[in-house]
Chains A and B, each alone.
Chain A
């Protein structure tokens, strides 16, 4: 079978020739067959989103070829790339990216108007798509009137607007609760096996790989492994993947090639705090966070830089948001010291209870969420924090267990809260150089 997408020796750099030059894709060679369901899987910053942007002609690559149905798109003009995106590829974004001033129906019709479909015809076709996604009753509403799950379904309907053979989903579940996340996965599966479309997903969450048949593992801009998967049952596939991914991440990725602590920390923070911002803005933010973490700049200078317009070297945040982010970072730096102290205690006296510290961390983690928790949920959360600090569970497992219902020994938080809490905890953990040692020591001692 001829591949629908083929990459040959693709190299892509951002900010080439500038001090912050970074190579996001390194000599990538791969083939995606027509009708396959593939995922680019890896941690934040591994180049997986860049991969999507390159394939869909959003980001220009400097070297190599991307061949779609036998045609190399590397020489395409901007206009040709734009039309290719409208006809060939439907993109589902993590942030939904709906136009706030247009109704749901007009949002879905918009990509059709771009390629010259008449407005009346586009409305008729958009209505059909909304019906397919069970959204007919919302067609005259505006995006802000819809829940996150509904907005993401509008996003899927819009991606289908010009009936593209390729669907690209960039962390499509990132902003959804578990019920809606599962629905989105069902739709993606349907687009693949019912419509025969080629579906490409980018994700860092192992559980969203359940229907995927080919997994491209990525790290530092390189495709490190291609895994062909034959899902048995959904449950088996889910647990199998989960186990595999988690163990893989801990054993290979973390132990063999440790990522520099600070680098990881600022990236996690940047992605966490600046959801919805452009890559360039996030990169700028990341470098400012690094400077702040190294205490090269103080809070007010940091806040000022965040507020500055992008063209003047800032991130262009609103003043209030800049201040809030700066305060938040201060808390993280303070808490960071707490965590270091906890590790000191664990290392010296592994049998000593660390309950007090765990309580403080729990309160900090949950302070943004107005939650009514039962005593058993609180206990479960404390146990999980303690397990995570001791390195008994991976970051993903921590989130998964937070999300798992309380009667199955999880904490029973919503999908969204679990992720936010998990990410917040990682923001104070991954920056600590002590963690790797701490985890190892504690773990060995416990064994």
Chain B
């Protein structure tokens, strides 16, 4: 019986899908560029969106469903409440929803925010997030190293 030998398994190996949700355009480009310029696009597919609504669209689409979400916390909504409590609540609701949806339960969530608030860190930890990174405290290579470590078990 004829069969085909696959020579380059690595080429058809699935990339790890990462979704960054951040309303700051510069941060989005920067985050995407870090993986690209350091030649990590062979391992990671980095998607970037600017709001929780866009993130939801990516999550429900099987083609774009991310393995890991890097999530900003303070993201203003057009016409919405501008208080930080409101932003934090929206963010916590978003995390809870993902964690409670059986088919998304394996999706990793990392907070990537300028917020250093201890109470916020406690709140998201309770929801079972996989990491809390403070913006501006990591160099590009450190972000890549963190991401590599987070996905070690996938290899």
Which residues in A have some Cβ–Cβ distance to B below 8 Å? 4, 34, 68-71, 79-80, 83-84, 86-88, 112, 115-118, 121, 125, 162-166
Contacts and interface: CB of A to CB of B under 8 A. Distances in A.
Contacts, number: 58
Contacts of A4: 39
A167 to B, nearest CB: 13
Contact of B37 (A79, A116, A125, A164): A164
Contacts of A162: 139-140
B146 to A, nearest CB: 15
A123 B112 CA distance: 21
A83 B33 CA distance: 8
B128 to A, nearest CB: 27
A87 to B, nearest CB: 5
B151 interface: no
B37 A88 contact: yes
B41 to A, nearest CB: 6
B126 interface: no
A163 B30 contact: no
A34 B39 CA distance: 9
Nearest to B37: A88
A112 B38 CA distance: 17
Nearest to B135: A116
A275 to B, nearest CB: 31
29 contacts: A68-B36, A68-B37, A69-B41, A71-B36, A79-B26, A79-B29, A80-B29, A83-B26, A83-B30, A84-B33, A86-B30, A87-B30, A87-B34, A87-B140, A88-B37, A115-B30, A115-B140, A116-B27, A116-B30, A116-B136, A118-B135, A121-B136, A125-B139, A162-B140, A163-B139, A163-B140, A163-B141, A164-B37, A165-B37
Given A79-B25, A87-B33, A116-B136, 19 more contacts: A34-B39, A68-B36, A69-B39, A83-B33, A86-B30, A87-B34, A112-B139, A115-B26, A115-B30, A116-B26, A116-B30, A116-B135, A121-B139, A125-B139, A163-B139, A164-B37, A165-B37, A165-B39, A166-B37
A181 B39 CA distance: 31
A68 B37 CA distance: 7
Top 7 closest pairs, chain A to chain B, by CB: A118-B136, A88-B37, A87-B33, A83-B29, A69-B39, A115-B30, A163-B141
A116 B28 CA distance: 11
Interface in B34-65: 34, 36-39, 41
Interface of B: 25-27, 29-30, 33-34, 36-39, 41, 135-141
Nearest to A83: B29
Dominant secondary structure at the A interface: mixed
A70 B138 CA distance: 26
A87 B34 CA distance: 7
A165 B37 CA distance: 7
A163 B145 CA distance: 13
Given A79-B29, A84-B33, A163-B141, A117 B38 contact: no
A79 B25 CA distance: 9
Nearest to B142: A163
Given A69-B37, A70-B41, A165-B39, A118 B30 contact: no
A83 B37 CA distance: 11
Nearest to B33: A87
Contacts of B36: 68-69, 71
A118 B140 contact: no
A68 B32 CA distance: 14
A25 to B, nearest CB: 23
A166 B39 CA distance: 11
B27 to A, nearest CB: 6
A117 B39 contact: no
A236 B115 CA distance: 58
Contacts of B29: 79-80, 83
A4 B40 CA distance: 12
**A70, A84, A87 — most chain B CB neighbours (10 Å):** A87
Given A79-B26, A83-B26, A87-B30, A117 B136 contact: yes
A311 B16 CA distance: 52
Contacts of A163: 139-141
**B27, B38, B41, B135 — most chain A CB neighbours (10 Å):** B38
Contacts of B139: 112, 117, 121, 125, 162-163
Contacts of A87: 30, 33-34, 37, 140
